Amino acid sequence: MSSLRSLFLQHLAQTSPEPLMLEIEKAEGIYLYATDGKKYIDLISGISVSNIGHTHPAVVEAVKKQADKFMHVMVYGEMIQSPQVKLAQALSATLPEKLNNVYFVNSGSEAIDGAMKLCKRFTGRREIISFYNSYHGSSQGALSLNGNENMKRNFRPLLPGIKHIHFNEVQDLEKISADTAAVFIEPVQGEAGVRVPDSKYMKALEKKCRDKGVLLIADEIQTGFGRTGKFWACEHFNIQPDVLVCAKGMGGGMPLGAFISSRGVMSCLTNNPALGHITTFGGHPVNCAASLATLTYIKESGVMATIQQKEKLFRELLNHKAIKEIRSKGLLMALQLESNSKVKNTIKKALQMGLLTDWFLYSADSIRIAPPLTITEEEIKKTCSILLKSLE
């Protein structure tokens, strides 16, 4: 065992029972390079982060340029920092007109927590609704929203006032009432193993929220920044949330999150109390510069126009009797196998052949496919041939 490996086990908090233990030397495009000389295709993008590939030159350049100018200068919201302002403007331009006001944080969970506070403060209501099998993060607030008891049980008490309803079941929308501050939804459930709701359902949810004066919050942390073939997954369903939450792919490999709403809704954080939400590092200028480079690349490179074809190619090539079902939206895909042991076995064999994949938090019998959106058709063919061999 190399000294770095033993030090990793000794000094880093171990939360994974079976850490991958790849010792990374370099990452570029869809590839990870390990110190033992092996090269791996990253089929999961660091869990839906490296949407435009690892160390994209435009992102690296933006990071270097900004680091040369200034890094942290002041806590959030006091000084005019051009990377934040330009990114907020560019994000607003990707969204319906009313979503034009951005609060930057550092991560997905933090953005969810901020959005939870915002909707309570704005509506004066105390109840929040989320979905069974939803995943919104691991902080106390986000964990309270999650719809998986196994991950929560030993961390109680969590936040009160949270109700869960069934995803994609119209009848359950009746539980949304005038007492509800907000409904948090992943437009495509990720950690549940890629569950895509019906458009009709999403429209019914939007209508119910409007009728009851409830804020509709879209958690686009995993689905945003082109992952599903549209810049935001909400676009597939033609719905307009009141608050959109993003992180992960947004930073192009740097840590960044945001909750985005209208100026009207967001302004309630300015009074009673003033500084209704505080962060020291949220919207770090280097990370905002990286994010703007990422957003610009996704918008201008034409990569989004290729995603549907790439999804189709994966679906065509992944024809194997061990695959019971394929669920996907763009390049967020789950291969349903018969068991977790089959999944584990397949992942292990794929890794030996230079392909990194994973399962899902709440869908341990599915294989995760979420490569950088920039993956080429040739690389998809190579990936699928490894996956098919691993399934044998």
Ligand X SMILES: Cc1ncc(COP(=O)(O)O)c(C=O)c1O
Q: Shortest distance, CB of residue 69 to ligand X, whole angstroms?
A: 26
Contact with ligand X (CB under 6 A): which of 81, 109, 144, 294? 109
Interface with ligand X, residue 287, by CB under 6 A? no
Is residue 228 near ligand X by the rule CB under 6 A? no
Query: For ligand X, what does the binding mask look like between residues 139 and 178, x meaning CB under 6 A?
Result: ----------------------------------------
Sites for ligand X among residues 200-219 (CB under 6 A)? 219
- Residue 327 interacts with ligand X (CB under 6 A): yes or no: no
Residue 222 lies near ligand X (rule: CB under 6 A): yes
What mask, x for binding ligand X by CB under 6 A, covers residues 230 to 259?
-----------------x------------
Residue with smaller CB distance to ligand X, 190 or 229: 190
Q: By CB under 6 A, tell whether 182 contacts ligand X.
A: no
Closest CA to 244 of 275, 266, 276: 266
Considering the complex, state which of residue 130 and residue 390 has its C-beta at the smaller distance from ligand X: 130
Q: Closest approach of Cβ 82 to ligand X, in Å? A: 25
What dihedral do alpha carbons 137, 143, 146, 152 form, nearest 10°? 130
Told to check if 192 binds ligand X by CB under 6 A, we report: no
Q: Which is nearer to ligand X, 220 or 379 (CB)?
A: 220
Q: Is 346 exposed, middle or buried (0-12, 13-18, 19+ CB in 10 A)?
A: buried
Percentages (nearest 5) of helix, strand, coil residues in the chain: 40, 20, 40
Q: Could you tell me which of 67, 62, 68, 81 has the C-alpha nearest to residue 282?
A: 81
Identified binder of ligand X from the candidate list 107, 180, 291, 363, rule CB under 6 A: 107
Nearer to ligand X, 100 or 222 (CB): 222
Q: What is d(CA 68, CA 52) in angstroms, rounded to the nearest whole number?
A: 24
CB 287 within 8 A of CB 356: no
User: Which CB contacts under 8 angstroms, 24+ apart, belong to 343-349?
Assistant: 343/367, 346/322, 346/387, 346/390, 346/391, 347/390, 349/389, 349/390
Smaller CB distance to ligand X: residue 366 or 390? 366
Q: Give the length of the chain.
A: 392
92-95: which pairs have CB atoms within 8 A and are 24 or more residues apart?
92/260, 94/231, 94/232, 94/295, 94/299, 95/232, 95/244, 95/260
Return the CA Rg of the chain: 21
Which one, of 240, 274, 279, 242, lies nearest residue 114 by Cα? 279
Q: Quick one: which of 53, 114, 137, 226 contacts ligand X (CB under 6 A)?
A: 137
221 binds ligand X (CB under 6 A): yes
At 257 the three-state DSSP class reads: strand
Task: Kindly tell me which residue out of 40, 104, 122, 135 binds ligand X, with binding defined by CB under 6 A.
Answer: 135
Q: Which of residues 43-62 bind ligand X (CB under 6 A)?
A: 47
Residue 372 touches ligand X, criterion: CB under 6 A: no
Output the residue with the shortest Cβ distance to ligand X.
108
User: Taking the alpha carbons of 368, 374, 378, 379 in that order, is the dihedral positive or negative?
Assistant: negative
Question: Total number of residues binding ligand X (CB under 6 A)?
Answer: 15
Residue 222 or 374 with smaller CB distance to ligand X: 222
For the purposes of burial, counting CB atoms within 10 Å of the CB of 33, is it exposed (0-12), middle (13-18) or buried (19 or more)?
middle
CB of 186 to ligand X, least distance (A): 5
> Which one, 108 or 147, has the nearer CB to ligand X?
108
- Which residue, 371, 301, 298, 284, is CA-closest to 333? 371
Instruction: Specify the residue, 363 or 390, whose C-beta has the smaller distance to ligand X.
Output: 363
For residue 76, the minimal CB distance to ligand X (Å) is 17
Q: Which two tokens stand for residue 304?
A: 């989004």
Residues near ligand X (CB under 6 A): 47, 107-109, 112, 135-137, 186, 190-191, 219, 221-222, 247
